[in-house]
Amino acid sequence: MILMKEKVIIIGAGIGGLATALRLLNAGYEVVIYEKEDKVGGRVNRIQEKGYTFDLTATISMMPQEFYLLFEELGLRLEDYIEISYPKSLYYTFFKDGTYYDFSTDLIKLNRQLESISTKDAVGYFQLMSDIYEKYQLANQAFLSQSCDQASSFFTFKHLKEIFKLEPLSNVYDYVSKFIKDEKLKEYICFQTMYIGMSPYDCSSIYTLLPGVSQFYGLPHLKGGMYRLVEVMEQLIKEWGGIIHTNSLVESLVIEDKCVLGIQLSDRIDKGDYIIANAQVPYVMHELQSIIRPKEYHLSCSAFILYLGLKQKLPMLNIHNIYINQAFKENIQSAFDGKLPKESSFYFYVPSRMDEGMAPTNGEVINVIIRVPNLKAQNVEWNEQTILLLKEQIYKALAQVTKIEHFNELVEVEKYLTPVDLATHFNCYEGIAFGLSHDLTQTNYFRPHHQSDDLKGLYFVGDCTHPGTGISLVLKSARQLSKQICKHI
């Protein structure tokens, strides 16, 4: 029997909060979670309408080993709770000029596709992947899987030497160009680095790890969508004695002498030994306290997501797809320059190609995700005109890709999510979709620490902490924080 130890209060029931709760319950802590929305999951949520099921935001399961590791360290088997399958192709990639590439997980098929571009680029692609794989193993062991809260453990000669092996000062595009000459192949690789909310022309070459780990480990699909993971985690928390309060907005932190003792709710105060914020660091420091002057951070961009329920199957599509428009650099840079793209390049997700339960018979679900400026952009208003502009770009591109002229006539369900929705429903500071920017001044030790530097008793977990954004990295964040708290006993 596990004896209850100290009390942990978690603000927010996103993936980071749920994973931390499970780990601390397993270690014997009393855990109470407060979630402002009516269901758990945070941005890893879903929409259901007329038999269509849409993942709200997260759709890509990079570094799937982190999913397995969480369950393994809890003494469980992921496979006993969730059915997981692997697509045969990573991405179907469509270009404005009609070019189409299938990036298969099968080595022979992949090589055939690359050789159709050029033999030199096929060689270059495999050399690039080899280089990325070596860097990934180094980064994962030295940084991604280790806490970077302590300067003494981060600023060592060994660590500094390893950092320079990763070539952090080169940007993604320039690094990829050392191996690849074909512009379309470069754009395909560079596009994937935008999953952390940065431009491949600005962010460090370290983030080529994103297309690399996809090629190495695949992009597994969780049957029922990403929210299935949330459902299982919620079930386990309740079975293990954790308490989850939904529709419970935390109004402020309870602070005495720069020590966080609890949280203020609308009708009461709840106190605990550890207060963990699974909310973005800037939001917590700007909205939940007034003792410490909030730091200014570089922010990621945001996203516009269009959800479409279609009354026709689309066999020409993969579960994961990329559409690359003309003027690639100009249009993806626009999200970081405070402007809307004139001709969007975007990722689109069609889970019903593998998971028929996510759509009615002979139907299809599509999530289209476009990078757009966050709410700091002064010249973008999220009104009907802006939404219509982006929808028209998407429908035009999908009509081209599917060769269905009146594509919009297939739509039975249409919904969308804007940066305003991210800010309103999920407390995303300035509507950012990817946490803090991942520039070099905000990575590793320089990213907000799991244990607050300013307020004793306050801890953070999620995409604004080390190692960064994305479900797998947030699971790493939860693991590092849980270890840190357990060491206090």
Mean pLDDT of 353-362: 96
For residue 1, the model assigns a pLDDT of 39
CA dihedral 421, 432, 143, 105 (to 10 degrees): 60
For residue 73, the model assigns a pLDDT of 97
Mean pLDDT of 164-176: 90
> Which of 351, 334, 44, 60 has the alpha carbon at shortest distance from 211?
60
* Dihedral-angle region of residue 451 (phi above 0 means left; psi in -120 to 50 means alpha; beta otherwise): beta
Query: What is the Cα Rg of the chain in Å?
Result: 22
Instruction: Determine the Cα–Cα distance for residues 478 and 70; give it in Å rounded to an integer.
Output: 10
What is each CA distance from 13 to 198, 230, 246, 250, in whole angstroms? 26, 9, 9, 12
Mean pLDDT of 146-150: 87
For residue 167, the model assigns a pLDDT of 84
Contacts of 190-194 with C-beta under 8 Å, sequence gap 24+, read 191/322, 191/324, 191/332, 191/345, 191/347, 194/332, 194/371
pLDDT in tens, 406-428: 999 999 999 999 999 999 999 99
User: How would residue 488 be classed by pLDDT, with cut points 50, 70 and 90?
Assistant: low
Mean model confidence pLDDT for the chain: 95
**What share of the chain has pLDDT > 70, as a percent?**
99
pLDDT in tens, 227-252: 999 999 999 999 999 999 999 999 99
* Residue 2 pLDDT greater than 60, yes or no: no
Mean pLDDT of 262-288: 97
* Residue 174 pLDDT greater than 80, yes or no: yes
For residue 292, the model assigns a pLDDT of 95
pLDDT in tens, 28-41: 999 999 999 999 99
* Residue 71 pLDDT greater than 80, yes or no: yes
Q: Report the predicted TM-score, pTM, of the whole model to 2 decimal places.
A: 0.96
pLDDT in tens, 418-460: 999 999 999 999 999 999 999 999 999 999 999 999 999 999 9
